[in-house]
Chains A and B, each alone.
Chain A
Amino acid sequence: MSGEHGELPVAARVRRLEERMIAAGLATDTELDEILEQVFAFASPVNGARMVARAWKDPAYRDRLLADGNAAAAELGLGAGAQGYLLKAVENTPAVHNMIVCPLCSCYPTALLGPSPSWYKSFAYRSRAVREPRAVLAEFGLELPESTEIRVWDANSEAATWSCRCARKAPGRWTKLSCPPSSPGTGSSVPPPGKQTVPGRPGGQRRPITCSSPLPPHRKPPPDACCPHRTAGRDRHGRGGPGHEGDVERRVLPGR
């Protein structure tokens, strides 16, 4: 986590608010830190990627995932991340490609997948996805044939929809999953953030905390691990875009 913004006016304003909340008994230093520790320790796009990878390997799990996203998450020990909203997975096929957007505020299943990427929260994506999804996808490098229907899911806070390709590529052969050492944002071959530190409290010392992150570059992913899991930009195969094959599209709830 960068510390070079520490002296920005907004950073000072945040520190001041923290101090006032603590003084008013609304928060404690420990609690604020613990919240971030929990986010970094659990929430990750890798959670979604695990579910997709399992669906690719296990047709029965795929069916269960499409039928009940919450139950499917719980099967993999991810139920806590899906609490409080209805998680729905939708499948990309050659005939239908799914996109998810929350034009009003960028809702997303943060507790499961972590905070949403900047592009998802951008005014451009929020405004244009329901109007011209094909053009938006093209900006991510994904050109779909005109015969492919694009379904745009306008999410609200209680329901998180998640698009992925769940089918095997060829009968009898499982798609070999490659997990490029990509950050969850770009899908490109960029080393992931790795360790992230919980930002320090006002007046306190920073406590470096090793948090979960996408797999480090030097580790080969286990068979049921992730697939290229970011949708902004291209992955190493030149694919990209929200909801592209193999990508897990994250959908956000503010604060969840």
Chain B
Amino acid sequence: MTRFTAGARVRARAADPDGHTRLPRYARGHIGEVVEVRAAWPLPDDAVRGVFALSRSMRCASPRPRCGIRGLHSVIIDMWESYLEEAP
């Protein structure tokens, strides 16, 4: 069952796991919006430990384009649902 749908406001977990994860540090603890929900894939964090666990893959965007020194840019990150929690 999918916890989040497109448009959901989410926060990337802030935990710093010891092992392999595909949640980059620059995104941890930050809030974004789900832009696309895709199929479930084996979660890499568990796969390397020999544990088979599916997590739905999704894309999340920074809530609004960031205004850099010379213009707008936004970041859209490929995520796993397991990395996300509801944001206020």
Contacts and interface: CB of A to CB of B under 8 A. Distances in A.
A156 B78 contact: yes
Interface of A: 86, 103-104, 130-135, 144-159
A238 B27 CA distance: 35
A204 to B, nearest CB: 34
Interface of B: 22, 24, 26-27, 38-39, 41, 44, 57, 59, 65, 68-79
A213 to B, nearest CB: 31
Interface centre among A86, A131, A158 (most CB of B within 10 A): A158
Contacts of B75: 130, 151-154
A148 to B, nearest CB: 7
Contacts, number: 69
18 contacts: A86-B38, A104-B24, A132-B68, A133-B68, A146-B72, A149-B73, A149-B74, A151-B73, A151-B75, A152-B75, A154-B24, A154-B75, A156-B22, A156-B79, A158-B41, A159-B57, A159-B59, A159-B78
Interface centre among A130, A132, A155 (most CB of B within 10 A): A130
A135 B75 CA distance: 15
Contacts of B79: 156
A134 B24 contact: no
A157 B43 CA distance: 11
A212 to B, nearest CB: 29
Contacts of B78: 153-156, 158-159
